[in-house]
Structure 1
Amino acid sequence: MSLVVYLAALVFGMTSVLLFRRPRTALRNPLTVSTCAAIVLGALVFVCAAPATLATVNDLTGVPNFGAPLTYGMLSAYSCAVLVLLINWRGGSRARVRRLVLRAMAAYGLLVVAIVVLFALADADTERLTDLDTYYAGTPFMREMILLYLLGHTAAMLVMCAVCVKWGREVGGLLRTGLRLILLGALLDVVGFQLTKYAAIGARWTGHDLDFLSTTVAPPMASLAALLCSAGFALPRLLPPVLAHWRGLGDYRRLEPLWSLVEPVSTAPAPPTGWWQLPQARLQWREVSIHDALLTLAPYFDHRVRERVRDRALHAGRSPHEARLAAEAAMLADAARRAAAREEPPGATGTYRLHATEVLGPSGLVELAQALQRPAPRTAASDSAAPRSLTETLADPEEPHVA
């Protein structure tokens, strides 16, 4: 059982590491700080609740069941952190947020103090590592301590459920998905953990034995509920950058044909090395390097090549945009050939701007790279020939082209 609980704590804690990957930036964001605090406290609850941890704490302190108020106090702190996170997530004026946060911290601070005081007053000399809630369900002061920590946690989860239902009607996209995961986790916590605890304790009060609900059913339900809540809190913040890096990796690869063509003339610094370089950083370097190479090749642009290929593409039925891309790809391939052969630049280059330099981001360069791989526009005289890409056509010395 301890191994399963420790594994849940590890997964829980890793989420906070991912959210807190940039400490200097994260510390200035109350939402990130409160999210990480809630997740870390949730992980600590699992660590403290593991029977192996309870036994170690009891041995170190020399107080039987000292791990109980420690775990219940940590669970109360987690409940408070969840409410603080919801307050920061909701937002509002700084004064209002600060006031609500202080109220939540004060309420749960008093709850933690009450748990410690009740444990100190109780007679709990028999160590119980897995069934303390039911074993001491009828013991004075221990009974009140157990009910207090359960009620405090129940209040936090019910507030979370209400907030998630309300906000879920007002937002969409990833935020709504995250709220649904949090709602599912909170409901699972209420039904699978808290109600089973209440039922097992109530059974003890009436002389029945439903301890398995508290010792066997509740712990895994609490673990699953906490993981769902953690995923709900982290998803809206982690998934967008993950998707951005995924798209960056795709664009980086799609730029390969263009980069292979212009790399010999690029004067950009050496690319960053190391497996830790994220796709977005690699893509940004490739964009800068390609634009640098385009500036170097600009004097070699032959607009007669561009106009000829454009007219041929329009005649072949391509749209004006496709024709422009095909013409620019042909002109760029011809310029790269001239630069590689150390030929003299054409007489008149003009001030023409490539489509790739007119749009923000890598989309224009990606279109240009894809145009380099498309079959070159063919005239009626060459329809029987096998289609070849523009770079292949212009690189073939036997293929006629405008010099």
Structure 2
Amino acid sequence: MSLVVYLAAAVFGSVGVVLFRSRPRTPVRNPLTVSTCVAIVLGSLALVCAAPLTLAAVNDLTGVANFGAPLTYGMLSAYSCSLLILLINWRGGSAERIRRLVLRAVAAYAVLIVAIVVLFTLADADVERLSDLDTYYANTPFMREMIVLYLLGHSAATLAICAVCVKWGREVTGLLRTGLRLILIGCLLDVVGFQFTKYVAVVARWTGHDLDVLSTGVAPPMAALGALIWSAGFVVPRLLPAVLVHWHSLEDHRRLGELWSRVRFASIAPKPPSVWWQPPRARLRWREVSIHDALLALAPYFDDRVRERALEAARREGRSAHEARVAAEAAMVADAARRAADREAPQATASTYRLHATEGCGTGGLLELAQAITGSARVDAVPGSTVRATSG
């Protein structure tokens, strides 16, 4: 069980690191970023403290049986407080209002943590229990109150998060709604799988029944699973857009491959060192710049007659005006690349025609030209000797 909890804590904590580093331009003191990361780190620490191996080590280190209990419950209460602070910053408002609400939350949970420590000090809990302390001491004076207090404090925070997620989930769309739903699912797993099972097991002890398996076998893994899903709710809206950008960049980089293979010999753009390990967006940008440089170098070889013949042929095939234009430009570029590669003389009269792919910013025009070069039968007929190097 300890290994599973440690693994969940490691994944949970790493999410906080990823979120913190994913916004390098965000000020370090940004309240929402800081409160999110603090909540995730405290949640991972609470999981670590709850592991039986950690409890045994803490008890041995301090020489106090069950000293790990108030440490774990105090850490869980601090985590609950961080959830409320995150909620306060999430809602926003005036700086004074946020400050006032944060101080109230800190004060309330500070009192709760002190009460947990005091109740443990007053209780008679000399028998070490590493996994079933809640149920074993459910009827013990002061320990009973301590157990109920930490559960109520955690329930208050998670139920507040659930209520806000339900409300905001109706008002937002897209990835933010997906993130809110994941947060809601994670919190509900905590409420039902961890808190409710703990309540049931403790109350069962009060009534003379034994449902300890709910507290020892069901609650810990459900708490870990809920924490992971909850953290994913913050990761998805922040990181998924960047992941999709890199994914599309990889796809666009691949789609430009055929065009690049035909014209790269003409490019004199300096190649950055170790281009293979650079982010996909940077690799795509370098390929775009290099292709534009190659097209500029091939401009003296552009033959308007080749373009016009290809344009007429595309129109006879029933293509739209834009499709016909791109197909004609692809034929002209392929012809220019062939003659430049064969070291033929440039056109006697330089063409003043401007390619659609070079008229504006972005990758769209180059992708259309690359697709036309890849799919056109006339372009496919260009001898393979035009390619002077491997793709990069």
Distance 1:358 1:234 in 2: 38
Distance 2:170 2:361 in 1: 35
Query: Secondary structure in 1 aligned to 2:318?
Result: coil
Distance 1:298 1:102 in 2: 68
Alignment correspondent of 1:70: 71
Alignment correspondent of 2:389: none
Q: CA 1:294/1:274 → structure 2, altered by over 3 Å: closer, same or farther?
A: closer
Alignment correspondent of 2:381: 392
Distance 1:347 1:102 in 2: 80
Query: Secondary structure in 1 aligned to 2:222?
Result: helix
Listed one character per residue, the Cα deviations across residues 136-172 of structure 1 (whole Å, up to 9, x for unaligned) are: 2222322222111111110011101100110010011
Distance 2:36 2:279 in 1: 24
Listed one character per residue, the Cα deviations across residues 47-89 of structure 1 (whole Å, up to 9, x for unaligned) are: 1111001101111122211111111111112212222333333
Cα RMSD (Å) = 2.2
Q: What is the CA-CA distance between 1:37 and the residue it aligns to?
A: 2.1
Distance 1:323 1:22 in 2: 43
List gaps (5 residues or longer) in structure 2: 387-392
Alignment correspondent of 2:19: 19
Residue 199 of structure 2 is aligned to residue 198 of structure 1? yes
Distance 1:90 1:389 in 2: 60
Q: CA 1:275/1:295 → structure 2, altered by over 3 Å: closer, same or farther?
A: closer
Residue 172 of structure 2 is aligned to residue 171 of structure 1? yes
Alignment correspondent of 1:319: 320
Alignment correspondent of 1:130: 131
List gaps (5 residues or longer) in structure 1: 376-387, 398-403
Partners of 2:92 and 2:98 within 8 A in 1: yes
Distance 2:29 2:271 in 1: 34
Identity %: 72
Alignment correspondent of 1:243: 244
Partners of 1:333 and 1:394 within 8 A in 2: no
Q: What is the CA-CA distance between 1:120 and the residue it aligns to?
A: 2.7
Q: CA 1:300/1:30 → structure 2, altered by over 3 Å: closer, same or farther?
A: farther
Q: CA 1:272/1:18 → structure 2, altered by over 3 Å: closer, same or farther?
A: farther
Q: CA 1:174/1:283 → structure 2, altered by over 3 Å: closer, same or farther?
A: same
Distance 1:203 1:225 in 2: 24
Alignment correspondent of 1:382: none
Q: CA 1:12/1:304 → structure 2, altered by over 3 Å: closer, same or farther?
A: same
Partners of 1:122 and 1:140 within 8 A in 2: yes
Q: What is the CA-CA distance between 1:23 and the residue it aligns to?
A: 6.9
Partners of 1:12 and 1:42 within 8 A in 2: yes
Q: Name the structure, 1 or 2, with higher relative contact order (CA <8 Å, separation 6+).
A: 2
Q: CA 1:237/1:325 → structure 2, altered by over 3 Å: closer, same or farther?
A: same
Q: What is the CA-CA distance between 1:394 and the residue it aligns to?
A: 7.0
- Report the TM-score when normalising by structure 2: 0.91
Alignment correspondent of 1:49: 50
What letter is aligned with 2:2? S
What letter is aligned with 1:258? L
Query: Secondary structure in 2 aligned to 1:25?
Result: coil
Alignment correspondent of 2:86: 85
Q: What is the CA-CA distance between 1:389 and the residue it aligns to?
A: 4.3
Listed one character per residue, the Cα deviations across residues 67-126 of structure 1 (whole Å, up to 9, x for unaligned) are: 111111111122122223333333344444444333333322332232223223333222
Aligned residues: 385
What letter is aligned with 2:199? Y
Query: Secondary structure in 2 aligned to 1:393?
Result: coil
Alignment correspondent of 1:384: none
Q: CA 1:237/1:350 → structure 2, altered by over 3 Å: closer, same or farther?
A: same
Residue 135 of structure 2 is aligned to residue 149 of structure 1? no
Query: Secondary structure in 2 aligned to 1:100?
Result: helix
Partners of 2:45 and 2:75 within 8 A in 1: yes
